[in-house]
């Protein structure tokens, strides 16, 4: 007699942890909650929640219990449902958790889901006149793809430079020192895609 039950693929502890982190971010997004709201509801710090959603920290059992409780779920329900991903993943323009950086020079907002594998990242970058976004070399093989939505910028990759205006696009090596500089007299807005290889 043979067992007719389906054979499930093996799941590592790392896979489960990643899935739970993604599920937490999705549940918060579905409810329209900010990190601050979830922090108040769960008693888990905002910074810890942000690290969990970015998969930079694995929640302990105690922390997972608190977060599950905030969503009105048991840990078992959170883990069991964590493999279910929606067909549409929405990032609201008002979601402050996607504000990656904000200073006197520029504002960077993450447009890609925070739980994406780190092989691609999408950003909206806003540079004040004279503002510069300078970056050290990323991992070998990394490239950036940039499209100018508004204004004029100069892109530098190692020793090469090029000027870009509204509607222009460029791709360049990002595994060397590189930067984007606003060369115009008004705010520049660019969309930036980072591809890791």
Give the distance, in angstroms, between the CA of residue 94 and the centroid of all CA atoms in the same chain: 15
Residue ranges of the chain that CATH labels 2.60.120.10: 98-195
pLDDT at 4: 44
Tokens 């799941």 locate to 11
Segment holding 65, helix H or strand E: helix 61-70
Residue ranges of the chain that CATH labels 1.10.260.40: 13-81
pLDDT at 172: 97
Asked if 188 contacts 154 with a C-beta cutoff of 8 angstroms, the reply is no
pLDDT at 61: 85
Asked if 101 contacts 107 with a C-beta cutoff of 8 angstroms, the reply is yes
pLDDT at 86: 60
Q: Phi and psi (nearest 5°) for 164? A: -130, 145
Please list the ranges in the chain whose pLDDT falls under 70.
Answer: 1-13, 15, 81-87, 114-118
For residues 83-108, b (16+ Cβ closer than 10 Å) or e, as one string? eeeeeeeebeeebebbeeeeeebbbb
CATH of 13-81, one of 1.10.260.40, 1.25.40.10, 3.40.718.10, 1.10.10.60: 1.10.260.40
Query: How far apart are alpha carbons 154 and 143 in whole angstroms?
Result: 17
Predicted TM-score (pTM) of this structure: 0.57
| Class level of CATH domain 98-195 | mainly beta
């Amino acid at each position: 007699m043979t067992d007719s039950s389906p054979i499930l693929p093996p799941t590592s502890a790392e896979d489960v942890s990643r899935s739970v982190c993604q599920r937490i971010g999705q549940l918060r997004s579905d409810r329209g909650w900010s990190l601050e709201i979830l922090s108040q509801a769960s008693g888990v710090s905002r910074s810890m929640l942000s690290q969990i959603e970015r998969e930079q920290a694995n929640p302990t059992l105690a922390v997972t219990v608190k977060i599950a409780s905030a969503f009105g779920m048991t840990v078992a329900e959170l883990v069991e449902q964590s493999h279910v991903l929606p067909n549409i993943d929405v990032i609201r323009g008002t979601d402050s958790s996607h504000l990656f950086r904000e200073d006197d020079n520029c504002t960077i907002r993450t447009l890609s889901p925070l739980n994406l594998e780190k092989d691609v990242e999408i950003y909206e970058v806003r540079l004040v006149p004279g503002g510069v976004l300078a970056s050290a070399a990323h991992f070998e093989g990394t490239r950036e793809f940039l499209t100018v939505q508004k204004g004029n910028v100069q892109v530098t990759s190692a020793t090469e430079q090029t000027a870009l205006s509204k509607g222009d696009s460029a791709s360049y090596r990002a595994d060397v020192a590189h930067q984007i500089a606003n060369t115009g007299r008004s705010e520049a807005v660019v969309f930036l895609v980072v591809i890791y290889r």
